């Protein structure tokens, strides 16, 4: 028993290369921890939260002024501001064109201000929802989702910033449904 006690005391006092006391994370662990630090959302102070809410309310009010009555002429104005080409004969045709484009609502409003001042502007378009998501998060131009009714113009513009894959799947399903309807209509005519 005495020899076991001596052995344990000696082993505890010796520095081993892999003991818990001498553990130093390797470069992979450091890189992982740095990545996790970047992914963590920065907590906002109360003042910053209030400032963000104020900015979002201002943008919602600005968009309401831009769209005003939410009739066909307003949808067409939105299509013109985004520089969508084509003949739009109904709200539905405008909606479909707007949903297919990836633009930030803040940029649409900025472009409209420039157009109203007599200039020419077009909001930046993104080829994928992922690019729009990255830009929106980086620039902190996030439109408040809770203020949006899906059937309204901002609902057509709004994309899922937190999970852009959902937008791609939704768009794909919509295209498949459209193709099915065309096929069914062709079969009925024949």
What tokens does 132 get? 């729009």
On whether residue 74 sits in a domain, the answer given is: yes
On whether residue 97 sits in a domain, the answer given is: yes
On whether residue 71 sits in a domain, the answer given is: yes
pLDDT for res 68:
84
Total Cβ atoms within 10 A of residue 154:
24
Q: Are 60 and 147 in contact (CB under 8 A)?
A: yes
What pLDDT, in 10s, does the model give residues 70-86? 899 999 999 999 988 88
What tokens does 70 get? 């939410």
On whether residue 107 sits in a domain, the answer given is: yes
On whether residue 188 sits in a domain, the answer given is: no
pLDDT for res 26:
53
On whether residue 27 sits in a domain, the answer given is: no
What's the CA gap between 99 and 118, in Å, rounded? Answer: 27
Structural domains in the chain (count) = 1
Angle at 62 between CA 134 and CA 66, to 5 degrees: 100
Q: Which ranges of the chain have pLDDT less than 50?
A: 22-23
Average pLDDT, the chain: 81
On whether residue 7 sits in a domain, the answer given is: no
**Residue 145 has what DSSP assignment?**
G
Cα torsion 48, 34, 139, 101 to 10°: value is -130
On whether residue 101 sits in a domain, the answer given is: yes
Helix 105-116, helix 72-82: angle, nearest 10 = 90
Look up the domain containing 111 and give its range.
Answer: 47-163
């Amino acid at each position: 028993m005495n020899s076991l006690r001596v052995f344990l005391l000696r082993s505890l006092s010796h520095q081993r290369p892999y003991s818990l006391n001498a553990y130093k994370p390797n470069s992979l662990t450091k890189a992982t921890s740095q990545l996790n630090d970047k992914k963590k959302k920065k907590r906002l102070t109360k003042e910053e939260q209030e400032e963000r809410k104020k900015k979002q309310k201002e943008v919602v009010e600005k968009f309401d002024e831009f769209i005003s009555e939410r009739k066909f002429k307003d949808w067409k104005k939105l299509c013109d501001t985004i520089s969508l080409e084509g003949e739009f004969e109904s709200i539905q045709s405008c909606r479909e064109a707007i949903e297919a484009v990836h633009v930030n609502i803040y940029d649409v409003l900025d472009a409209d201000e420039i157009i109203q001042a007599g200039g020419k502007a077009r909001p930046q378009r993104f080829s994928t929802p992922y690019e729009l998501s990255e830009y929106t998060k980086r620039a902190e131009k996030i439109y408040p989702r809770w203020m949006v009714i899906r059937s309204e113009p901002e609902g057509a513009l709004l994309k899922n910033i937190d999970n852009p894959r959902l937008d791609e799947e939704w768009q794909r399903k919509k295209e498949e449904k459209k193709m099915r309807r065309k096929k069914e209509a062709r079969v009925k005519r024949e």
